[in-house]
Every structure is written in structure tokens, then in C-alpha cells.
Amino acid sequence: MKAIKTLAITLLASMSLSSPLVAGSADFAGIYGGVQASINGVTVDGTHTSSSDNIVASNISVNKGGVGAIAPIAGIEAGFNLPLGDIFFIGVGGTLVSGTAKVAESKEDANAADITIEGSDMQTLFIQPSISLFDNSAMYVKFGSAELHMEAIGDVTNPAKFDLNGDLYGVGMLTQFNNGIYVRTEATAVSFDSFTFTGVGAAETAILEGNPTIATGALSLGYKF
């Protein structure tokens, strides 16, 4: 996360010293909305602890299949850009990434406590400090929060649906055409809170814990009204 923030600050600082041939912040002002396609990579640090001896029985491992570790997902975005000067503006908005992807799985040697964890319908709220550049383009950094709906399926004794919250960081580029259509490319990362639930396999007190992180590369197409 520190690397993303350092890169973003450095790039924005360098752009502020660049050529004065820039587009005005007023060009980006107003409400916008669009659709988004993204590639999402997932990592999970976690453990599955047995109830009998309190020893870690197996580690949670990221699924290596095409829809787990790397998942293509579509979504929508909407927001508002407010000018703060000739070239600086700030955006606020949100996204809804619809769909379900396998996040991780935990396997026990006896196959009596095999768990699959799925994530779905991630929502984000964000703030985007931005600087306008030449050729109707802008660069921005993004900070915000995210919520992810999670479900554990398999050898689970108790219902295992829960929501996770996390912190979002990212950088991106925005190009807007004279007719209001825009194209956005960005890279973000979300570090989610840890989750814990009990009731794995036949043991109601066995514990499964995890701490997921999602890295995303996204391409958006939309319209500024």
C-alpha cells in the first residue's frame, strides 16, 4: 500500500511541474457514470485450526483456477467531479462490481473439512484528487472504502455468510473526449479486515480465519453529463 501511495504522490508532483499546455479542470466538472471491466487478483493469509488440539490443521490457499486467483468481473461506476483550481479537481463516487468469484479454499487431509470461500458484489466509495493534463486527460489517486459479501460453502456446520470491509488505494488515468465520453484505466488494491467463523466439518468449535487482499486492474467507459 505504501508503494502505491508513494508512486501516486510522486507522479502528481511531477505533473504539477510539467508543460503549461494543459486542459482545464472545468472540462471534467460534473456528474459522470459508466461501465467497468476488471481483472481481479486475490491473496488470502489464513488458517484452519482444529478443535481437538488447537493445532493448525491446514492453511488457506488461494485457488489456482481461472476464476479464483484471477477473476474477470464487470461493474458500474458513478460520481461527481468538482474543480478546485485551474488544473486541480476532486472526484467523489462509488462502484458496484457485480458477480461471484472463488476467493480461496481450505482443504483438510481427511476431506472432512473442505471449505470454499466465495466473494460477490463488491461495493466501493472513494475520493479522487486529480490533476488535468494535456489532450483532455487527467491523472488521479484514489482513496476509499470497500465492502465485499463473502460466503463459505462446503463442510460448514453453521451458516457462513458475512460482509467484509476494507481500505482502498489506487492510481489511474482519465481521457475525456469533446462529446463527453470518457475512458478510464486504473490499478487499485483493497486490504480487507480479517474474518473468523466457527463450525468447520463435524467440529462445531473448529475455527477458520483469513485476511484477503484484492488487487484490480480496471478499464471503464462512460459519459460525463
Per-residue model confidence as pLDDT tens for the chain (225 residues): 554 454 444 444 544 444 444 458 999 999 999 999 988 877 776 665 555 544 444 444 433 323 345 677 889 999 999 999 999 999 999 999 887 776 666 655 555 556 777 778 889 999 999 999 877 899 999 999 999 888 877 766 665 778 889 999 999 999 999 999 999 999 999 998 887 766 555 555 566 677 788 889 999 999 999
How far, CA to CA in Å, does 2 sit from each of 7, 13, 82, 128? 9, 16, 27, 17
**Cα gap 95→34, rounded to integer Å:** 10
Q: E-strand spans in 107-180?
A: 115-132, 137-154, 161-176
Name which of 194, 197, 125, 189 is nearest 159 in CA terms.
197
What CATH number did the domain enclosing 184 receive?
Answer: 2.40.160.20
Residues in a beta bridge with 188: 170, 216
CA dihedral 194, 200, 204, 209 (to 10 degrees): -10
Q: Which helix (H) or strand (E) holds 39?
A: strand 30-49
Domains: count for the chain: 1
> With contact defined as beta carbons under 8 Å apart, do 25 and 85 qualify?
yes
Contacts of 147 (CB under 8 A, 6+ apart): 122, 123, 124, 163, 164, 165, 166
For residue 184, give its domain range.
Answer: 2-224
**Cα gap 173→220, rounded to integer Å:** 10
Task: Compute CA 204 distance to the chain's CA centroid, rounded to the nearest angstrom.
Answer: 32
Name which of 144, 194, 140 is nearest 167 in CA terms.
144
> With contact defined as beta carbons under 8 Å apart, do 35 and 224 qualify?
no
Residues composing the chain: 225
Q: Which helix (H) or strand (E) holds 220?
A: strand 203-224
pTM higher than 0.95: no
**Cα gap 95→146, rounded to integer Å:** 9
